[in-house]
């Protein structure tokens, strides 16, 4: 894996799942010890690149989680522009298909080079962690078992030259064994043992997810909605350190 030089706490990404720039800055300032923040659809639609500038001015790492999913030409154009922001991770749905994934990978290299920044790691979404095996079978009509489907999406991304995949903690061990050590695995839906699962169907604790082979964990509501977010962060750090 490519994260061996980082501490476990530097491998925990906290989502800025707030509606506006004021709320985002308040949360960032409340948790100065967080080094890696995720910017998703809600905040990016609200603020555009302004929030990315705020984070970079504070020397934070950025996971731009926009989950692009479109035809190859459109995906490539979006990735080319996003790469110019100088973010660290960028997401695309694996179900966009091999041609779109390959176009996106080339585009982030072009966009980063044009802007004079390092290209982001391009990470494929295998299956949203809010979806269950039943959802896969009955709603999406996909005849594969959920772990097999997630693995196939990760292999599709790897074969297209992408840097990593997003998967639930419950699939990470199989993906690590099959896809090898070089594929970055990012796990959302991670919940400490003392936190509510919420809408996450396929979860593990932070310590379990790291042990299974995750490179990065995305942990949001157990921290950001806690009565004392700083105390919740410290509790998670203690949990993964033991």
The residues carrying an active-site annotation are 67
Q: Please name the residue ranges forming H helices in 84-196.
A: 98-115, 133-134, 146-159, 169-179
Give the span between the Cα atoms of 129 and 140, in whole angstroms.
14
DSSP bridge pairs for 92: 68, 124
Under DSSP, the state recorded for 95 is G
Helix (H, G, I), strand (E, B) or coil at 129: coil
Place of tokens 């292999």: 155
**β 184-187/121-125 pair status:** unpaired
Find the helix or strand (DSSP H, E) in which 74 lies: helix 72-83
CB 36 within 8 Å of CB 60: yes
Give the span between the Cα atoms of 107 and 128, in whole angstroms.
24
The conformational region for residue 162 under phi > 0 = left, psi -120 to 50 = alpha, else beta, is: beta
Nearest of 215, 214, 218 to residue 63 by alpha carbon: 218
Structure tokens at 171: 């699939």
- What is the distance, to the nearest Å, from the Cα of residue 209 to the centroid of all Cα atoms in its chain? 14
């Amino acid at each position: 894996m490519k994260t061996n030089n980082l501490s476990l706490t530097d491998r925990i990404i906290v989502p800025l799942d707030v509606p506006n720039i004021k709320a985002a800055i308040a949360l960032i300032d409340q948790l100065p010890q967080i080094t890696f923040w995720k910017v998703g659809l809600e905040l990016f639609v609200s603020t555009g690149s302004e929030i990315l500038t705020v984070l970079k001015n504070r020397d934070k790492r950025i996971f731009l989680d926009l989950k692009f999913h479109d035809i190859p030409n459109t995906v490539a154009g979006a990735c080319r522009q996003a790469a110019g922001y100088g973010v660290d991770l960028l997401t695309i749905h694996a179900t966009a298909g091999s041609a779109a994934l390959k176009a996106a990978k080339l585009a982030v290299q072009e966009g980063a080079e044009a802007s004079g920044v390092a290209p982001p790691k391009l990470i494929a979404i295998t299956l949203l962690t809010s979806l269950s095996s039943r959802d896969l079978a009955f709603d999406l009509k996909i005849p594969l078992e959920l772990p097999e489907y997630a693995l196939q999406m990760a292999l599709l991304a790897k074969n297209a030259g992408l840097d990593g995949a997003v998967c639930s903690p419950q699939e990470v061990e199989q993906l690590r064994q099959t896809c090898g050590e070089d594929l970055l695995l990012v796990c959302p839906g991670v919940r400490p043992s003392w936190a509510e699962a919420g809408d996450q169907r396929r979860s593990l604790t932070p310590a379990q997810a790291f042990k299974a082979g995750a490179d990065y964990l995305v942990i949001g509501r157990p921290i950001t909605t806690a009565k004392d977010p700083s105390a919740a962060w410290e509790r998670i750090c203690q949990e993964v350190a033991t």
